[in-house]
Structure 1
């Protein structure tokens, strides 16, 4: 059930050489705190170990966004790798996690600047799944070979790591749109019922606006457009995509007006403060389960279900940098982080939806939501809650989340697969804002701008 992504003829652009250019680009960065556990915020300065001119180092550096998982489970997985050994008894090479930003947009710009320079700073990249086409096409990634159990990954998620017929990345965690609701609030069964409900969405100017707007298009007559490898023509953008956004605009000025200020954190706070419904990602479930306002003792005061209709297939992938000085060890670390045990811990202890069937007790042949079987975090780690403490979320609550995720995966669609995704996203959401504001973004200008952006040409409505 896997397939190759849209090819551009296998072009590989040359990478600029020289360490000096990279050091110059980083000269304004803040100093880092490099602890043995490897927690680094923002950018390294020239004293960073991986900045050595010859890149002669045995340590691995993993770069990604801020770890927002419950109990910092990503950091815990890196720590477990550092404590582990290969089958022949050799210790794993030490790995350090570099956390650059919580914002997907900032993660992209900062990581891209480093890998584009040809520098050896990073070995393993934790990437938004929309980056694969751009990074692989530009020669920033090394194809993955020998990863075990590829058929155990959810096929749609695995395809986000393919480019030009090769596998460059594998899923670390998947994301799908979920509908959170307070107890006593009946969630709408169909998409139109959401828009007038005052639901908390993510409509501020960042990737969340692109995601939420695409879901609105797909659920209002534009299903399949601006998704995956199939590129809509100008007429489809004008006659099907634009009208769906125009119908969303009155809600953005009315019942959804508050959501225009919301990213993920702001919408979580609005929901915890009383907004009855919220569209958000799976990791939010565990965050809410530990929020005193959202529980009554062991009982949660909210529920979760799949978002009605189509949803964006989000998530983050693991890839090996083309300029890693330790590509073999880096690939081993990717296999460790994407393995079933790590994925189970990431879900039950961290709240991130896994990329593998087996992490939810499923197989490719037995994959219905009713078949989800998960374990609580303490049963995986052997560390029960302390005296007087309650394990949240517990196994029953995690099962509810797992079933919602699997249901939503059956309705999930990828965002456009293009090396120019960042150009598309910034153009698309800029046009969406103008449509919301009645600022002159007519159907023709919208169609032309979005069509240009898919080719990497900067445009605006």
Structure 2
């Protein structure tokens, strides 16, 4: 007997965000197909959709004060109603669930909030509409905008950007100096995210790039000889260095690393975790925690990572089968306009995708008297917010400075329509190397080369 998943459908005046697992919806479709046609275990959704509102799908809203949801609520005041569907806090699960729905041939979603590495795969597979009519593209950070391109066409625009930042505790009896090189960083008591998920791919790539390798960035990046010299050798050094880190970074996803950083103390005079590599959103998350506040200030500081970093972030795209494509594109424009981007940063703590959101012009250096508006200054309706739970002028300037400094040194992960296959293979090899298992250079290079072409491989 098929067990039917349950979820609640709310009336039209419901809140503009809901939670349910897309996997449950896919399971519902598969279950129905199995009951109706025992021969086929899967049937595509109907080509025509009748839903009258917009559905926006993405990961869990990790912004401070749920600012993504607030933007959707603001849109709903004067536009076609939109509902935000949050499918998971795991990038890997988000990808598999959204991909499953799109592969079904259905049109359940109108706007996709997706990791910027998915553009190539989703555009290549025909899941996305080209965004030919969007204006103001020069105001986006150029390297972030480039992640929405595939074969010269624009399929997605950045919603928020991510760059690796260095967080440092400043409240210890003996404060750790800020490392000026990557080698010094990973020789320090630094918290990294080396659990077997996308964060491991990110941290490993940053180490490759900062150890003299230009892995996946140059011409011939899929040649096995190139991969051995520019990726395998730097990874061997990285694996040796992090193998002795305590606490064990293999236990950390992003949330666990933030918890470890905020709870670190100095016991018996011995050094503890005073440094952390993480994304911009961690700043507002930490700043909102009472134990990280002190005398009107914070117990930590943030700066750009020493050297190169991965350019992460979320992109917005319009689903190819959306029955409301014009309105979906208007929603994308709304979510990326200057005011929305300012609120995403000042009220939500996410790094914006536009220069103007930081009161800068394209290519402009940060002025000496740089001032970024606080959340309550952007919208009079937000003056009732608890001021202890939003960033003040100094904090916004510190975070903004770190982001702007890091962006020119930020590079995208390998651009391939088979990115998820690559990432699983790559980090699987890295896990074995960190665990001191025997991974030969040729075995590594062959597995990674095959994965970049979408072939299943392992070390």
Q: State the TM-score, normalized to the length of structure 2.
A: 0.88
Aligned to 1:73: 67
- Aligned match for 2:50, one of 56, 77, 80: 56
1:26-425 mapped onto 2 (5 Å cutoff): 29-32=5-8, 34=10, 35-43=14-22, 45=25, 54-84=48-78, 92-183=79-170, 184-223=175-214, 225-227=215-217, 231-255=221-245, 258-274=248-264, 275-368=273-366, 372-383=370-381, 390=388, 392-425=390-423
CA distance in 2, matches of 1:132, 1:249: 30
**Offset of residue 385 of structure 1:** 5.5
**Offset of residue 28 of structure 1:** 5.7
**Offset of residue 300 of structure 1:** 0.7
Corresponding residue pairs, total:
425
Map Cα deviations across residues 219-278 of structure 1 (whole Å, 9 max, x no partner). Answer: 00113x224886342112112311111111122220155111000000000100112000
Give 4+ residue runs of structure 1 displaced > 6 Å after superposition.
none
Residues 365 and 214 of structure 1: CA distance in aligned 2, closer, same or farther (over 3 Å): closer
CA distance in 1, matches of 2:158, 2:379: 23
Aligned to 1:433: 431
Residues 226 and 422 of structure 1: CA distance in aligned 2, closer, same or farther (over 3 Å): same
**Offset of residue 371 of structure 1:** 7.4
CA distance in 1, matches of 2:51, 2:141: 35
Residue 155 of structure 2 contacts residue 317 of structure 2 at CA under 8 Å; is this kept in 1?
Answer: yes
Residue 119 of structure 2 contacts residue 149 of structure 2 at CA under 8 Å; is this kept in 1?
Answer: yes
Q: Is 2:444 the counterpart of 1:446?
A: yes
Residues 290 and 297 of structure 1: CA distance in aligned 2, closer, same or farther (over 3 Å): farther
**Offset of residue 390 of structure 1:** 3.4
**Offset of residue 32 of structure 1:** 4.0
- The DSSP-based 3-state class of the residue aligned with 2:51 is coil
CA distance in 1, matches of 2:282, 2:403: 12
Residue 345 of structure 1 contacts residue 380 of structure 1 at CA under 8 Å; is this kept in 2?
Answer: yes
- The DSSP-based 3-state class of the residue aligned with 2:388 is coil
Residue 159 of structure 2 contacts residue 336 of structure 2 at CA under 8 Å; is this kept in 1?
Answer: yes
Q: Note the residue ranges of structure 1 that are not aligned, 5 or more in a row.
A: 1-25, 85-91
**Offset of residue 370 of structure 1:** 5.3
CA distance in 1, matches of 2:85, 2:218: 30
Aligned to 1:22: none
Map Cα deviations across residues 397-431 of structure 1 (whole Å, 9 max, x no partner). Answer: 11100010010001101100000000000000000
- The DSSP-based 3-state class of the residue aligned with 2:191 is coil
